[in-house]
């Protein structure tokens, strides 16, 4: 009898009880807007910012409406203007080039390696064409951040990190989001903290922090923040920085604060599931594991593997056969976007020269989410199913 998996790849864990209680409290108070606080009260959003800055070891933090908003806000704070080129990954998700395009700026795509990280050679070749790199740690794969920062510093390129998939991860012991001038995070349902929608940005730069706070829609209420620079810093920028409303509200922040306290535990649980699937897939003929660097301490909330140089019909066959046994794989390299887009040639508003070695990698990437509602035994079963179906299609010649 064939084994079948019956779990849901989109079912997340419930919000912790503490978060539900805090959310009810906010609703009972009626004070959902972040600046609507009672005498002596700071509000959930300001407290979340203080706690997130503390958890990341950053000086400043701003909570916003989404990860995409955090990225666009960072670009604005850095002074990116319409028509400017912004370097970014050829392999990422649509909100990343979308954040660049939202300013009228132009994404300049940099290739991807078989490690699913940004191609540093291609980055070096293109670094003199832009002043900012929007670096996406897509699917939690961290490039050699020591080499990348050296390269960017040499070329005077400022780095914004998109840590939508690396909240809690480290490179050489440094938390993801702390190498660049700004780190951006998403708290959308499928990320490491879940408030439905939401975003956070961190920085150690006081002028960028002040600009981001005013940009996010603080009016002149920035003194109600707890992870913000001193009022004098705002004096320098407040008349010249537009309000591009995108605040977080107290309800979301209330849900997020207890989750942040559990982040380390959650990351360990993801990694237990990831290593179970990874070891189950090792040795599958025709399947390439995405190897991780020793310096990388990743968060395995999803897993990717490569079917390099496989014909499209065979990749489709693997996907169909796995789906028939309850395992949902996403083909990130599919030629036509379906449900999501993750490759540079899907974003035709930003045309790019062809990148053949990246195309080879992109067309081979299969992806699977690992929600924490899966047990480790579920993960072992999923790996057995994928291994069997990949082997069967590979051996069919």
Ligand X SMILES: Cc1ncc(COP(=O)(O)O)c(C=O)c1O
Q: Which residues bind ligand X (CB under 6 A)?
A: 66-68, 92-93, 95-96, 136, 138, 162, 164-165, 186, 188, 199
Q: Which helix (H) or strand (E) holds 394?
A: helix 376-395
The least CB distance from residue 153 to ligand X, in Å, is: 24
Phi, psi of 361 (to 5 degrees): -70, -50
> Nearer Cβ to ligand X, position 233 or 260?
260
Cβ(387)–Cβ(284) below 8 Å: yes
- Residue in this structure with the two tokens 């040499």, named with its chain if needed: 154
Nearer to ligand X, 188 or 241 (CB): 188
Nearest distance from C-beta of residue 340 to ligand X, angstroms? 8
Q: Shortest gap between Cβ of 189 and ligand X (angstroms)? A: 9
* Tally of CB atoms within 10 A around 360: 15
Q: Is residue 237 helix, strand or coil?
A: helix
Nearest distance in Å: CB 136, ligand X: 5
Quote the least distance from Cβ 94 to ligand X, whole Å: 8
User: Whose CB is nearest to ligand X?
Assistant: 67
Specify the residue, 140 or 280, whose C-beta has the smaller distance to ligand X: 140
Q: Is 198 left (phi over 0), alpha (psi -120 to 50) or beta?
A: left
Q: What is the CA radius of gyration of the chain?
A: 21
Closer residue to ligand X (CB): 130 or 138: 138
Nearer to ligand X, 218 or 302 (CB): 302
Shortest separation between residue 96's beta carbon and ligand X, angstroms: 5
How long a stretch of residues is the chain?
397
- For 208, the enclosing helix (H) or strand (E) is helix 206-216
Exposure of 307 in the CB half-sphere (CA atoms within 13 A) = 26
Tell me whether residue 103 or residue 388 sits nearer to ligand X (CB atom). 103
Could you tell me where the beta strands, DSSP code E, fall in 55-198?
60-64, 85-89, 106-110, 132-136, 158-162, 170-171, 174-175, 182-186
């Amino acid at each position: 009898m064939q084994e079948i998996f019956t779990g849901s790849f989109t079912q997340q864990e419930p919000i912790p009880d503490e978060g539900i209680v805090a959310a009810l409290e906010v609703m009972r108070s009626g004070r959902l807007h972040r600046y609507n606080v009672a005498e002596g009260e700071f509000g959930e959003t300001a407290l979340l910012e203080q706690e997130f800055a503390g958890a990341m070891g950053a000086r400043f933090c701003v909570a916003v409406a989404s990860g995409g908003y955090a990225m666009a806000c960072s670009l604005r704070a850095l002074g990116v203007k319409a028509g400017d080129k912004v370097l970014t990954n050829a392999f990422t998700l649509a909100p990343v080039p979308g954040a660049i395009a939202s300013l009228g700026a132009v994404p300049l795509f940099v290739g991807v390696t078989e490690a699913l990280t940004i191609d540093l050679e291609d980055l070096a070749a293109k670094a003199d064409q832009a002043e900012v790199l929007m670096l996406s740690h897509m699917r939690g794969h961290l490039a050699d951040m020591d080499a990348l920062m050296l390269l960017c510093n040499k070329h005077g390129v400022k780095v914004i990190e998109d840590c939508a998939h690396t909240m809690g991860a480290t490179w050489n012991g440094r938390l993801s989001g702390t190498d660049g001038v700004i780190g951006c995070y998403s708290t959308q349902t499928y990320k490491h903290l879940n408030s439905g929608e939401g975003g956070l940005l961190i920085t150690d730069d006081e002028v960028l922090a002040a600009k981001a706070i005013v940009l996010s829609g603080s009016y002149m209420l920035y003194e109600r923040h707890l992870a913000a620079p001193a009022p004098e810093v705002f004096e320098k920028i407040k008349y010249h920085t537009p309000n591009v409303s995108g605040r977080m509200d107290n309800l979301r922040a209330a849900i997020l604060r207890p989750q942040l306290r559990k982040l380390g535990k959650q990351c360990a649980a993801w990694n237990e599931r990831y290593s179970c699937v990874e070891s189950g897939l090792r040795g599958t003929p025709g399947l390439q594991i995405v190897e991780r660097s020793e310096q990388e301490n990743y968060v395995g909330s999803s897993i990717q593997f490569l079917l390099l140089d496989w014909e499209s019909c065979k990749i489709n066959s693997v996907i169909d056969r796995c789906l028939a046994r309850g395992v949902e794989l996403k083909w990130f390299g599919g030629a036509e976007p379906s449900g999501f887009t993750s490759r540079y040639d899907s974003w035709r508003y930003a045309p790019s020269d062809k990148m053949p070695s990246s195309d080879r990698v992109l067309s081979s990437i299969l992806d699977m989410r690992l929600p924490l509602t899966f047990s480790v035994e579920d993960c072992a079963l999923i790996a057995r199913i994928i291994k069997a179906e990949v082997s069967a299609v590979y051996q069919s010649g």
